[in-house]
Amino acid sequence: MQPAIFLDRDETLTVDKGYTYKISEFQWKTGAPEALKLFKEAGLPLFIVTNQGGIALGYFTEADMQAFHAHLQAEAAKFDVEFTDIAFCPHHPDAEDSKKDKPCTCRKPEPGLLFALAEKWDIDLSSSVMIGDRQSDIGAGQNAGCAAYFDCDFAADRPTIADQAAYIIQKHFPDRMTP
Ligand SMILES: [Mg+2]
Ligand SMILES: [Zn+2]
């Protein structure tokens, strides 16, 4: 088992204009490519865990999202970075068919997406880190037993996810720092 970095997508890695799925709207958040490179240099596998309730609400299809993710991987490859896997929750509590069923166990802050990835890829959650821009991201990480951080921390003078990445590596993976 090895540790990993779990990342939210919208407003953590990429700019969110609200239920983003169009490739033409793809845009990195400031510092995101640098953060991904730092984690890669530290030898940490990268996973995205994302709530995509727009699927359940009918705003876009799973195929639309998969096309967006293929583009995201291609853009990451320009920086020599690859996401090992991307896990998503397609459900939404306001969707028609959700009301009949129990709430899903994958919509963050539920930890289902992280549990599934950890099992599939043999990841040690207790030494892993989740990063996101919302409290639901922090909750999902903590509910899965990971350390969890917001994508930036202005109070601590870490205004971008690149600053956070450097801090997280120093704090949690000091033996993996590149000189
Ligand atoms: Mg987000
Ligand atoms: Zn779900």
Q: What is the mean pLDDT of residues 82-98?
A: 90
CA of 104 to the centre of ligand 2 (A): 5
Question: In the predicted model, what is the mean pLDDT of the chain?
Answer: 95
Banded pLDDT at 103 (limits 50, 70, 90): confident
Q: Report CA(8)–ligand 1 centroid distance (Å).
A: 6
DSSP annotation of 54: T
pLDDT in tens, 165-174: 999 999 999 9
> For residue 101, what pLDDT band results from cuts at 50, 70 and 90?
low
**129/172 Cα distance (integer angstroms):** 8
pLDDT at residue 97 tops 90 = no
Class of domain 5-174: alpha beta
What is the residue-wise DSSP string for 11-46? TTTB--SSS---GGG--BPTTHHHHHHHHHHTT--E
Per-residue pLDDT at 98: 62
Residues at Cβ < 5 Å from ligand 1 ion: 8, 10-11, 133
- The stretch 88-94 carries a mean pLDDT of 93
Q: Is the pLDDT of residue 178 over 80?
A: no
Q: Identify whether the C-beta of residue 64 lies closer than 8 Å to the C-beta of residue 25.
A: no
CB 146 within 8 A of CB 130: yes
Q: Which residues of 115-136 are buried (b: 16+ CB within 10 A; e: fewer)?
A: bebbeeeebebeebbbbbbbee
CA of 136 to the centre of ligand 1 (A): 9
Taking 70 as the threshold, does the pLDDT of residue 145 lie above it? Answer: yes
pTM: predicted TM-score of the whole model, two decimal places: 0.96
| pLDDT beyond 80 at 179 | no
- Is the Cβ–Cβ distance between 21 and 37 less than 8 Å? no
Answer whether 11's CB lies under 8 Å from 50's CB: no
Residue 82 — very low, low, confident or very high, per pLDDT cuts 50/70/90? very high
Residues 3-50: tens digit of each pLDDT: 999 999 999 999 998 999 999 999 999 999 999 999 999 999 999 999
d(CA 58, CA 44): 35
Q: How many residues does the structure list for the chain?
A: 179
Distance 117 CA to ligand 2 centre (A): 14
Q: Ligand 2 centre from 135 Cα, in Å?
A: 17
Whole-number pLDDT of residue 99: 59
pLDDT given for residue 94 in this prediction: 87
Residue 175, pLDDT > 70, answer: yes
Q: Which sequence spans correspond to the domains of the chain?
A: 5-174
Return the structure tokens found at 32. Answer: 């995101």
- Mean pLDDT in residue range 102-127: 96
